[in-house]
A and B are shown apart, each in its own frame.
Chain A
């Protein structure tokens, strides 16, 4: 609960309905999409303007109350779980699309705008905002920026950080920070725009953003290839890129995932396949045609058991249905679904999948792997039950080993979900001691009192690296 003084001050800023500290409200903002993490905030506040955010920050600073910025709470790193209590600042009321600038090809919006709504608005006028996280129907752009969300088109188009060019953010002091602008080139000082993208709400609260837009690709086509050999599938991924073709989407499903999807959706996937690749290319029609033909040829040369290029939009939907059903199929298997995002250089996909399979056998767990093969971003997904403490301990150990294996293969602990609370103990594995120290220095420069999203990214203790024998 908030002290009556703080509540009164907040109410004076946002009005009585937009400050809540009743048990139902606090509970409803005590979690996000990350399984097994929950902590009660003292209150919830819904600002409607940058000025309100400033005023709230000043009150919080004066009373030393932690602030957790939150959009739709769809992140998978426990990044918005208020472990330090305090205020959850929900940005969903600041959801205006301020401008689409067709001369500069930029869009400017408030952080609470739903990602899908930006897509629809720009696509209506033939423009394109490529980042497409799986949660885009529900996630807010502010959340995408805070977590540097990725998506299926990352291979060709990059992730959120490659599009954000200007930000307005409020510092814990209540001061406003403006970075970048509608500029393609800007090297004035440190790149604070890039620094804020992916900062997970630990440095400032983003109140406005400008992103660059591309022309909407003229055409696109989809194809699928089935492989009986995991290495053949992985080599195909490398071969496609080596042939200087960058598909917009290059997705991978392992045997475990294929079997679960087939059991669930009965769409005729062969259970004996070691892997399926789903490939999409977009661009001018002639280029798309040529690329898809060459990719199909590469797949055939790699001894794919089955190669199919969609001839119609219906066939596309049918080919993509395997990837689309993946989450539903896995999520229905057991009560708790833990979806991670260990990422490796794409040449290391096959050894990484083998490592994951070895680890799941070692711990006797059900882990299926699918993900964005083109950019090496895999989603080892564990089906378990949060109520089974003994099993959950095994799950934690298994994921520690998976992160360790990813780093050994030149990869990272998280490709697109962020560190948050869930992976804070592993951050040092990736960035090293000096990396942590520099990051903590940056944190102090922005947030000297440690009020913004405490407990996230930096853990009190770093887990010891696992020794794989």
Chain B
């Protein structure tokens, strides 16, 4: 992104990044950090490294030092900001209520002025952020190809021919746990408007997401079916796009805002009572739209209208769970929080829902509130740290002796599938989205 009305930035100059950050970092938020250190135990990267600079307090201090002109940003500064998972567990732990996620995004926006140095990261960013996520039809096409690849054994061919060896190990491992892609998304399968069963409770706009609709179409369809069973009319506006979370977290703020604008328009037009997401990462971004357009007279009101209506699927379901015809599921179930659902949206309902399904034995996962290491595309950009965090998580998952590991976010779900495979637990358990488990109980 380029700052409006500024001279173009020389991509070599960290000094210019520093100058930009001094103008854009939120000084109030940085001053608000009272450095009590209460965030330290909440931070996964601090726990892994034991280094203050890899903690929220440390990163805020680094940002403040840049903002105060005490130091210039450099590669080490950028590395530290990029090592952060953005799980925002520190926000929940912070007595002073520092909006860490927001200042981190500001810092990353400054860093994004310089191109990331690694070729893999650069390539991935360009591909995902500029050419894929913003375009639903391209994702659909990709889904079509993926589906073809997965169903017709092209995968076998690619693997046998050694093509996969060109990719790093973690990408090959991830490829193995990818769910079957679909060439048809939720809208193509169920239509634009789906009538409710029984007395209508309201009109819900379904946020279908980008990856969600290609790789987890079934979960999207189940979300719609569940809402319909619960008495909601479901609308799936076609003009909606990617939520922009990955862009915002990576510092691509302008693209994120462009996507947000389109989404706000699409759902306003659809005249919905709620906007429902089934991905914690998307949901947390959607509720933040109001913040992103603060002070923008043209968009402010619409953005607030939008954010006020955003709900996670579990919030709507929790209200009507007793009216749903639930059959017994004799299973041992545990739950891994989606960080953004918990720390961004402050949603607490999934555990209550799981406990209400008859037959289910719910076991709490030790440190279920700790990030699984997926964190958007973190597992692709920071594979080592991601794997370290995941492997530790899986030892706790193993101890629950659960048959089913439930999450509420596609990134976490993929990561959990990857983790189950890495830990050799495939025979004993599987990972599912909360919505899919619920649908199994309803049908």
Which residues on A are within 8 Å of B, measured CB to CB?
22-25, 27-35, 46, 72-74, 90, 92-93, 114, 135, 137-139, 327-328, 331-332, 335-337, 385-387
Cβ–Cβ contact B50 & A337, under 8 A: no
A158 to chain B, nearest CB (A): 24
Do residues B37 and A31 form an inter-chain contact, with CB atoms below 8 A? no
Residues of chain B within 8 A of A385, CB atoms compared:
31
Q: How many A-B contacts if CB must be within 8 Å?
A: 84
Q: Within the complex, what minimum Cβ distance (angstroms) separates B384 from chain A?
A: 15
- Selected interface stretch from B51-59, B223-231, B417-425: B51-59
Which residues of B pack against A, CB within 8 Å? 27-28, 31-32, 34-38, 40-41, 50-53, 55, 58, 61-62, 65, 70-71, 74, 76-77, 80, 95-97
Chain B residues near A28 (CB, 8 Å)? 51-53, 55, 58, 61-62
Q: Which residue of A lies closest to B58 (CB)?
A: A28
Q: Give A119 Cβ to nearest chain B Cβ, in Å.
A: 13
Closest chain B residue to A29, Cβ basis: B52
Q: Which of A27, A114, A331, A335 contacts B71 (CB 8 A)?
A: A27
Could you give 10 example pairs across A and B, Cβ below 8 Å?
A24-B77, A24-B80, A27-B71, A28-B53, A29-B52, A33-B35, A33-B36, A138-B41, A331-B97, A332-B97
CB-defined contacts of A92 to chain B, threshold 8 Å: 50
Q: Are the C-beta atoms of B50 and A46 separated by less than 8 Å?
A: yes
With a cutoff of 8 Å between Cβ atoms, the chain A residues found around residue B71 in the complex are: 23, 27
Starting from the known contacts A25-B51, A332-B32, 4 additional A-B residue pairs (CB-CB under 8 Å) come to: A31-B35, A35-B35, A336-B34, A387-B31
B65 touches A27 (CB 8 A): yes
Q: Choose one: B31, B37, B38, B53; the contact of A24 (CB below 8 Å).
A: B53
- Cβ contacts under 8 Å, B32 to chain A: 331-332, 335
Note all chain B residues with C-beta closer than 8 A to A29.
52
Bound complex: CA A236 to CA B27 (Å): 45
- Within 8 Å CB of B80, what residues of A? 24
**Which 5 residue pairs spanning A and B have beta carbons closest together?**
A28-B53, A28-B52, A331-B96, A335-B31, A328-B95
Q: Which of B34, B62, B74, B76 contacts A33 (CB 8 A)?
A: B34
Our pick among B27, B28, B38, B52 for the contact of A137 (Cβ within 8 Å) is: B38
Chain B: minimal CB distance from A14 (Å): 13
Q: How far is the CA of A72 from the CA of B58 in the complex (A)?
A: 12
What is the CA–CA distance of A73 and B34 in the complex, to the nearest angstrom? 12
With A and B bound together, what is the CA distance between A462 and B53 in angstroms? 35
Distance of A73 Cα from B38 Cα, bound (Å) = 11
Closest A residue by C-beta to B96: A331
**A-chain residues with CB within 8 Å of residue B76 when the two chains form the complex:** 22-24
Residues A135 and B37 in contact, CB atoms below 8 Å apart: yes
Contacts A23-B71, A328-B95; is A337 near B40 (CB within 8 Å)? no
CA distance A114 to B74 in the complex (A): 33
User: Given the known A-B contacts A24-B77, A72-B40, are A331 and B34 also in contact in the complex, defined by CB atoms under 8 Å?
Assistant: yes
Assuming the contacts A23-B71, A331-B97, asked whether A32 and B35 have C-beta atoms less than 8 A apart, the reply is: yes
Inside 8 A of A33's CB, which chain B residues have their CB? Answer: 34-37
- Are B41's CB and A327's CB within 8 A? no
Determine the chain B residues whose CB is within 8 A of the CB of A46 once the complex forms.
50
Cross-interface CB contact of B38 among A138, A332, A386, cutoff 8 Å = A138
CB <8 Å contact, B53 and A27: yes
A73 lies within 8 A of B97 (CB): no
Shortest B103–chain A CB gap in Å is: 13
Smallest CB separation, B98 vs chain A (Å): 9
Query: Given B34, B52, B58, which contacts A35 in the complex, CB threshold below 8 Å?
Result: B34
Provide the residues of chain B in CB contact with A93, threshold 8 Å.
50
Interface pair B61/A27, CB less than 8 Å apart: yes
A328 to B41, CA, bound (A): 17
Report the separation of the CA atoms of residues A385 and B34 in the bound assembly, to the nearest whole angstrom.
11
How far, in whole Å, are A180 and B40 apart by their CA atoms in the complex? 33
Q: Is A74 touching B50 in the complex (CB atoms < 8 A)?
A: no
In the complex, the answer to whether B31 meets A114 with C-beta atoms within 8 Å is no
Distance from B278 Cβ to chain A, minimum over Cβ atoms (Å): 31
Contact of B37 with A327 in the complex, beta carbons under 8 Å: no
Chain B hits for A327, CB < 8 A? 95
A residues near B41, Cβ cutoff 8 Å: 114, 137-138
**Within 8 Å CB of B52, what residues of A?**
25, 28-29, 73, 90
A134 to chain B, nearest CB (A): 9
Residues of A within 8 A of B50 (CB): 46, 92-93
Residues of B within 8 A of A337 (CB): 34, 96
Q: Which residues of A contact B97 (CB under 8 A)?
A: 328, 331-332
Given A33-B36, A331-B95: A27 touches B31 (CB 8 Å cut-off) = no
CB distance from B45 to the nearest CB of A (A): 13
- Whole-angstrom CA separation of A336 from B27 in the bound complex: 12
Question: Please, how many angstroms separate the alpha-carbon atoms of A378 and B281 in the complex?
Answer: 43
Residues of B within 8 A of A386 (CB): 31
Q: Which residues of B contact A73 (CB under 8 A)?
A: 35, 37, 52
B27 neighbours in A (Cβ, 8 Å) = 387
Residues of B within 8 A of A336 (CB): 31, 34
| Among B52, B61, B74, B80: residue with most chain A CB under 10 A | B52
Is there an interface contact between B31 and A332, defined as CB atoms closer than 8 Å? no
State the CA gap A239–B71 with chains docked (Å): 56
Nearest-neighbour CB distance to chain B for A322, whole angstroms, equals 15
- Per the bound structure, the CA–CA distance linking A328 and B36 in Å amounts to 11
CA distance A90 to B51 in the complex (A): 10
Chain B residues, CB < 8 A from A23? 71, 74, 76
Closest Cβ of chain A to B92, distance in Å, is 11
Which residues on A sit within 8 Å (CB–CB) of B61? 27-28, 30-31
CB distance from A401 to the nearest CB of B (A): 23
Chain B's nearest CB lies how many Å from the CB of A80?
A: 11
User: For the complex, what is the distance from the CA of A30 to the CA of B65, rounded to whole Å?
Assistant: 11
Q: How long is the Cα–Cα vector from A93 to B38 in the complex, in angstroms?
A: 19
Please name all residues of chain B whose beta carbon is closer than 8 Å to the beta carbon of A137 when the two chains form the complex.
38, 41
The answer to whether B62 touches A27, judged by C-beta atoms less than 8 angstroms apart, is yes
In the complex, A327→B95 CA distance in Å?
A: 7
CB neighbours (8 Å) of B28 from chain A are 335
